[in-house]
């Protein structure tokens, strides 16, 4: 079974600085997708960024980028120029390609942004 581990229950960053959230996963599959979701206090789950395992290039979405290390099964999220609106719970998630496409989530990292 696939597992996703987020080793940092809480992180904090100063506004305008950079922070990296860690995620590791365990799978025997070779084709899969990885995601970072943001959950602000509104409770809504918002897709931040995704990565296909077959792509070597790290995904980037504006201030959000990932460091995908397939051999190490690591998928960290870097937030640059942190803003107060980035404060939220962040969940790393994994999904195999095909099959029932179930998303497996990590336990989350609570990010605080200090002004």
Q: Which residues bind other proteins (CB under 8 A)?
A: 4, 6, 9, 33, 35, 37, 42-45, 47, 50, 52, 91, 93, 95, 97-108
Report DSSP letters for 36-49, one per residue.
EEEE-TT---EEEE
Nearer to other proteins, 15 or 90 (CB): 90
Compute the least distance from the CB of residue 43 to other proteins, in Å.
5
| Cα separation, 92 vs 109, whole angstroms | 9
Cα distance between the two ends of the chain: 41
Compute the least distance from the CB of residue 79 to other proteins, in Å.
19
Compute the least distance from the CB of residue 99 to other proteins, in Å.
8
Nearer to other proteins, 50 or 73 (CB): 50
């Amino acid at each position: 079974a696939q597992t996703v581990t987020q080793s940092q229950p809480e992180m904090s960053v100063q506004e305008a600085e950079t922070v990296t959230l860690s995620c590791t996963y365990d799978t025997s599959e070779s084709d899969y997708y990885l995601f970072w979701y943001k959950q602000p206090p509104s409770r809504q789950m918002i897709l931040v960024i995704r990565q296909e395992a077959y792509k070597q290039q790290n995904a980037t979405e504006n201030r959000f980028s990932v460091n995908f290390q397939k051999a190490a099964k690591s998928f960290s999220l870097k937030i640059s120029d942190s803003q107060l609106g980035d404060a939220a719970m962040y969940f790393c998630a994994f999904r195999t390609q095909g099959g029932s496409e179930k998303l497996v989530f990590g336990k989350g990292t609570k990010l605080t942004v200090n002004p």
